[in-house]
Amino acid sequence: MPDKPDRNAIEVVNVSKIFGSGEGRVAALDAVSVSIRENEFFTLLGPSGCGKTTLLRLIAGFDFPTAGEILLYGQDIALLPPFKRPVNTVFQSYALFPHMTVADNIGFGLEMLGKPKTQIKARVAEMLKLVKMEALAGRRTSQISGGQQQRVALARALAPQPKVLLLDEPLSALDYKLRKEMQIELKRLQHETGITFIFVTHDQEEALTMSDRIAVMSSGKILQVGSPWDIYDKPAERFVADFIGETNFLTAAISEMANGKARATLKSGATIEATVAQGFQPKPNATVVVRPEHAKLTKGKGELSGTVDNIVYFGTDTHIHVHLDSGELFTVRQQNTRSAGCGFEKADKVGILIGSDAAQVLKD
């Protein structure tokens, strides 16, 4: 991955957004701060109601923050109306103008900016080509398919060459195959245009495959910001570990902390090496997470031992649920082969091997 220039396109500083007042008062955003770099594909990830769309709407200018600053290349835009911000949005519902053609939709932003007709025409043609919709320029938006509407919405938002493009769950209405296609398409567009993308989604897979960096949000707060790899392999908090992918949670005692690493003594008595989340405060019962694919099942002895509870076949791999002797549950994911089964049966006594680079200690 090429190094991204170290300049911030958007800086969100201590932004809060409070809806309602008195008893019905809800803090949709609670003193959120985050910096989004230039040319970055940045994703806001979280369950519905976590505040990700609210943050996007504040950046777009559809709502205004109760407190805090939003800087666009250093200039505070928090209170500017949306038509004065060089920021465009791709809406979840696309929000294409039904009374205009595809080309008119794409040209609308430029027209409102007062660009000359010839320039608008050229830019619209360029955009149609970029999203491969040249053939349908004269159609009405009600006469094209969902995937095509998606492309038009993208072209419309990109046409005025915004400094930042906001995408509000733009792929959620598409079927699985089309969604996969559009994910690749979006990455390509971001690369070709060099525009900073801020992408909102609740789909962790989408976030992992597309983003340069991800901010995981919950209840109006940003819990962790990092590369997909950071977020998946080094979750800082229980919520992040739980929300993204599948995880095994184990209770352990932490000792010999140094250089972000430590030794974790599990309930079974075994001791494993683990990385430690930043901000971890030593405590007697820490939580250690191990991803199912980072553990191995064995008929012999391992760091953990238990009984096979259930075996679930997934095609590419098999999930084996183990009831540990310590009373906890543990899942191991094992890659499938064509010739042999998974090699284990229900009620088998098994051991679980945890590698030296498989465990992460959470801070909460």
Partner 1 sequence: MATAEEVAKAAERRDVRDRWLLSAPALLVIFLAATGPLLIVLVYSFLTPGPYGDVKWQFSPEAWIAVFLERDIFDDTLSAAAAHVTIFLRSIKLSVVTTIATLVLGFPTAYFMATRSEKTRDLWLFLITIPFWTNLLIRTFAVLQIIRNEGIVNSILLKLGIISAPIQILYTDTAILIGMAYVYLPLMVLPIYASMEKLDFRLVEAGYDLYATRFQVLRRIIFPLVKPGVIAGSILVFIPALGAYVTPSVLGGGKNMMLSNLIELQFGQGRNWPLGSALSIAVMIIVMVALLAYVRNAGKSGVRHG
Residues that bind partner 1 (CB under 8 A): 60-62, 81-83, 87-89, 91, 93, 95-99, 108-109, 112-113, 140, 142, 156-157, 160
In the complex with partner 1, the residue whose CB is nearer, 126 or 357, is 126
Quick check: helix, strand or coil at residue 83? helix
Which residue do the tokens 């098994």 mark?
350
CB of 91 or CB of 249, closer to partner 1: 91
Shortest Å, Cβ 121 to partner 1 = 17
Nearer to partner 1, 96 or 266 (CB): 96
CB of 166 to partner 1, least distance (A): 9
At its nearest, how many Å lie between partner 1 and the CB of residue 183? 23
Compare residues 52 and 156 and give the one whose CB is closer to partner 1: 156
CA distance 297 to 343: 10
User: Beta 41-45 vs 213-218: how paired, if at all?
Assistant: parallel
Distances (CA, A) of 168 to 43, 182, 325: 10, 14, 46
Residue 184: other Cβ atoms inside 10 A: 11
Q: Report the nearest approach of partner 1 to the CB of residue 109 (Å).
A: 4
- Least CB distance from residue 91 to partner 1, whole Å? 6
C-alpha span between 89 and 200 (Å, rounded): 11
Q: Which two tokens stand for residue 3?
A: 């190094």
Shorter beta-carbon distance to partner 1: residue 150 or 305? 150
Q: Please identify, using beta-carbon distances, which residue of 25 and 99 lies nearer to partner 1.
A: 99
Cα separation of 57 and 64, whole Å? 8
| Matching residue, tokens 């209840």 | 219
Nearest residue (CB) to partner 1, 67 versus 112:
112
How is the beta sheet containing 87-90 ordered, strand by strand?
A: 87-90, 164-168, 196-201, 41-45, 213-218, 221-226
CA distances from 224 to 7, 244, 315 (A): 20, 12, 32
Which of 276-304 are b and which e, b meaning 16 or more Cβ less than 10 Å from the residue's Cβ?
bbeebeeeeebbbbbbbbbbebeeeebbb
Report yes or no: 216 and 239 within 8 Å, Cβ to Cβ. yes
Give the shortest CB-174-to-partner 1 separation in angstroms. 18
Q: Which is nearer to partner 1, 61 or 220 (CB)?
A: 61
Shortest approach of partner 1 to residue 291 CB, angstroms? 39
Is-contact 63 47, C-beta < 8 A?
no
For residues 331 and 320, give the distance between their C-alpha atoms in angstroms, rounded to a whole number: 6
Closer by beta carbon to partner 1, 4 or else 140: 140
Q: How far is the CB of 50 from partner 1 (least distance, A)?
A: 21
Least distance from C-beta 156 to partner 1, angstroms? 7
